């Protein structure tokens, strides 16, 4: 193998690692913003032509429609935690796909003895790299389980 081939191979592997880390960072930044109800930071992670598919909701098209729905549904919760578990991404040039699991926990009344509402299920993502970096293009989220009562009926 020539020095050029070694260098090219190393450069490809390094780029793949950087892309995967950038995608993980994008998701962590966005979902931490959800927990803080920082809707602007969260929606900056999405492409203009984004699509959100979530179990009980109709398919939502467009970045601003995604923001409006999620803000409407999640803003009444006093506090939330969005966990992304077992995340895996595959990168192919300027496109990427990913999978993971969601574990969502929400509290309606801080300090209450009532149980928080929680749910979990699979994530399925599509990403696109643009001039400003990676963005989320499509998110499919299924609900496999719930625990507690969704007293706000936000996810019905």
CB 101 within 8 A of CB 122: yes
Rounded Cα distance between 63 and 67, Å, is: 6
pLDDT above 90: residue 36: yes
The pTM (predicted TM-score) of the whole model is 0.90
In the chain the first and final C-alpha atoms are separated, in Å, by 59
Residue 101, domain CATH: 3.10.450.50
Please indicate, yes or no, if residue 25 is contained in any of the structural domains. yes
How many domains would you assign to the chain?
1
What secondary structure does DSSP assign to 48-68, as a single string? EEEEEEETTSPPEESHHHHHH
Q: Please tell me the predicted confidence (pLDDT) of residue 16.
A: 92
Look-up: residue for tokens 């192919």? 92
Q: Please tell me the predicted confidence (pLDDT) of residue 33.
A: 97
Domain extent for 87: 3-147
Please indicate, yes or no, if residue 153 is contained in any of the structural domains. no
């Amino acid at each position: 193998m020539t020095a050029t081939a070694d260098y090219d191979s190393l450069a490809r592997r390094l780029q793949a690692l950087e892309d995967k880390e950038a995608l993980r960072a994008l998701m962590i930044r966005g979902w931490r913003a959800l927990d803080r109800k920082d809707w602007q930071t969260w929606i900056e992670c999405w492409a203009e032509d984004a699509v959100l598919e979530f179990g009980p909701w109709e398919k939502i098209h467009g970045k601003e429609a995604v923001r409006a729905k999620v803000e409407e549904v999640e803003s009444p919760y006093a506090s939330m935690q969005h966990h992304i578990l077992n995340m895996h991404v595959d990168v192919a040039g300027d496109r990427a796909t990913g999978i993971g699991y969601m574990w969502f926990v929400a509290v309606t009344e801080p300090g209450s003895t009532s149980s928080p509402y929680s749910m979990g299920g699979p994530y399925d993502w599509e990403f696109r790299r643009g001039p400003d970096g990676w963005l989320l293009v499509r998110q499919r989220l299924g609900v496999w389980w719930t625990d507690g009562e969704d007293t706000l009926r936000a996810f019905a």
